[in-house]
Chain A
């Protein structure tokens, strides 16, 4: 619970730190990408802290190279 709250507080902190700067320079594209990255990684972090089993990219890599014969 606490870890979830602290992750969301952290994400809001990062947002309030960077977003006004991007808005001031009128960089729409940067602001969009920043928001998308932040939102998706916040969701992933919250899932991880609530002990959901996230898929591990290393598993995919391993099974791919097993498949082609290494």
Chain B
């Protein structure tokens, strides 16, 4: 909204935190349920697909020429058709943000603070997110630089302290069920953090420097995907594929297994800090881009007045979004991928086509003159 910019490095950190946040909690279970011990392969495949996706997004971002996705769509498709497309895009972001809020709320109420009602966890978490979105992108970018070392440090600690318990046998037999289940489950990771990257089309116009920001997005996606692969691999190596598939939060279960020299135990809450930080950043990016998007949709000058009312709606939506975990699992397994596909691939492709036609039209008269 206002002239705030972030550096490509901060943008890369945001991409990493975004792709790790909340996926780290929900990805290993459904993947190992279907692909068994080959789940890590399907993540690798999806990361490769995700990199192609990011190349497409980067190309759209170049064609947008410093406008956000919302402004670009309105300028290409006009006030009405553009707004119809954007209504779906923004509702996707809003629903996604409320689902992410529900993820952290569910995690906190089932594992850490079971007596606190879900609403209050959501409200407390959302207050911090609203504060971050109020301060703007610059503050978000700078705080990502502050927190990134912590996330890296805790991940390294997590990996090293678990490495004595690794059992290589858990990975065998490789590809015992053939390649088909591996390919089938790779859609899950494509749907969960990778197609959601479409959010960054709202952020990328505020990133300084043209060339390195493309590389920053690609590198961020790659590192984020590598972290997800590492976590899933650790789950399979230590818990085994069956136990991973049975746990709702296998990576938390994994943290409970940390045992340093027989006296340092119960460190899982330190590991939970990684998830709170990453989910906070995912929420703040989604919330910021949703409110900025809605503000630009309504041609408002400032997004800040919308932050608090939309937050009220988001708490309600996150409560009613699903009655129980079973509903969520069927939703995320069956409906999420086509839903994310529609909004993360088809709408950007339509806008991309429109932008291409528009940029060709703009360059032609110049040729005629020369």
Asked if B316 contacts A54 (CB within 8 A), the reply is: yes
Binds A, one of B215-223, B224-232, B248-256, B331-339: B331-339
Query: Which residues of chain A come closer than 8 Å to B317, judged between CB atoms?
Result: 57
Contact partner of A34 among B91, B309, B319, B335, CB < 8 A? B309
Contact B335 A38, beta carbon cutoff 8 Å? no
Contact digits for A26-55, partner B, Cβ 8 Å, 1 yes 0 no: 010111011001101110110010000010
- Is A65 among interface residues, defined by CB-CB distance under 8 A? yes
**Cross-chain contact A65 with B298 (CB below 8 angstroms):** no
Q: Which residues of A contact B322 (CB under 8 A)?
A: 56, 58
A11 to B313 Cα, complex, angstroms: 11
**Chain A residues with CB below 8 A from B309, complex form:** 14, 34, 37-38, 41
Smallest distance from the beta carbon of B264 to chain A beta carbons, Å? 42
Chain B interface residue bracket vs A: 20 to 34
Known pairs A37-B309, A65-B338; A30 contacts B301 (CB<8 A):
yes
Instruction: Report A-chain residues with C-beta under 8 Å of the C-beta of B337.
Output: 70
| Interface contact A38-B312, CB-CB below 8 Å | yes
Partner of A56, one of B313, B315, B320: B320
Check A30–B302 contact: CB distance below 8 A.
yes
Chain B residues with CB under 8 A of A4:
none
A-B contact list, 30 entries, CB within 8 Å: A7-B312, A11-B312, A14-B309, A14-B312, A27-B301, A29-B299, A30-B300, A31-B305, A33-B306, A34-B305, A37-B306, A37-B310, A38-B308, A40-B313, A41-B312, A41-B313, A44-B316, A45-B312, A48-B316, A48-B320, A54-B316, A57-B95, A61-B335, A61-B339, A65-B334, A65-B335, A65-B338, A70-B334, A70-B337, A70-B338
Chain B positions within 8 Å of A, measured between CB atoms, are: 91, 95, 298-302, 305-306, 308-310, 312-313, 315-317, 319-322, 331, 334-335, 337-339
Known contacts A29-B298, A45-B313, A56-B322; 12 additional CB pairs below 8 A are A14-B308, A18-B308, A27-B302, A30-B302, A33-B300, A33-B306, A37-B310, A41-B310, A44-B316, A58-B95, A58-B331, A65-B335
